[in-house]
Amino acid sequence: MVVATPTKKARIWQLQHEDGCQFQEIANILRMNPSTVSCTYHKLKEQGPNPDFYSQSKIGGSSKLITPHSECRAIYLITSGECHDATAVQHTLFPNLASTTVRAMFQRNGLNGWIRRKKPCVRHVNTIY
């Protein structure tokens, strides 16, 4: 969906609410799609008689699994040394979440880590030419 600028929102409100123009006429004047004009006007109308042209609608999506306060607590556990990795933090604070979710939260906050893996010992004897 195309988002109208606050100036265009005000112009749509004035042309429709005060002057009584049709959505098609407003769309032609402002060079916009009539459905965009209609949606914008109806969203402004929901706000009441004095709409805020600078307000933005909330973006949908699921709620966060880890709250900002819990993130701070988890970062404190790592930086203070009480926990040494994401799995320990997950067992301590978030027993219902996967450790990869906790690890992703640490990466978002700049605490990158990795999992040690056992690697084969590569020597000249083991290489194939």
CA–CA dist 34, 25 (Å, integer)? 8
Low-confidence ranges of the chain (pLDDT < 50): none
pLDDT at 129: 62
Domain positions in the chain are 6-46, 68-108
CA–CA dist 74, 126 (Å, integer)? 44
Q: What is the CB-side half-sphere exposure of residue 59 using CA atoms within 13 A? A: 2
pLDDT tens digits, 92-116: 999 999 888 888 898 888 888 766 6
Residue 38: closest CA among 70, 1, 64: 1
Strand, coil or helix: 80: helix
pLDDT at 60: 74
Strand, coil or helix: 39: helix
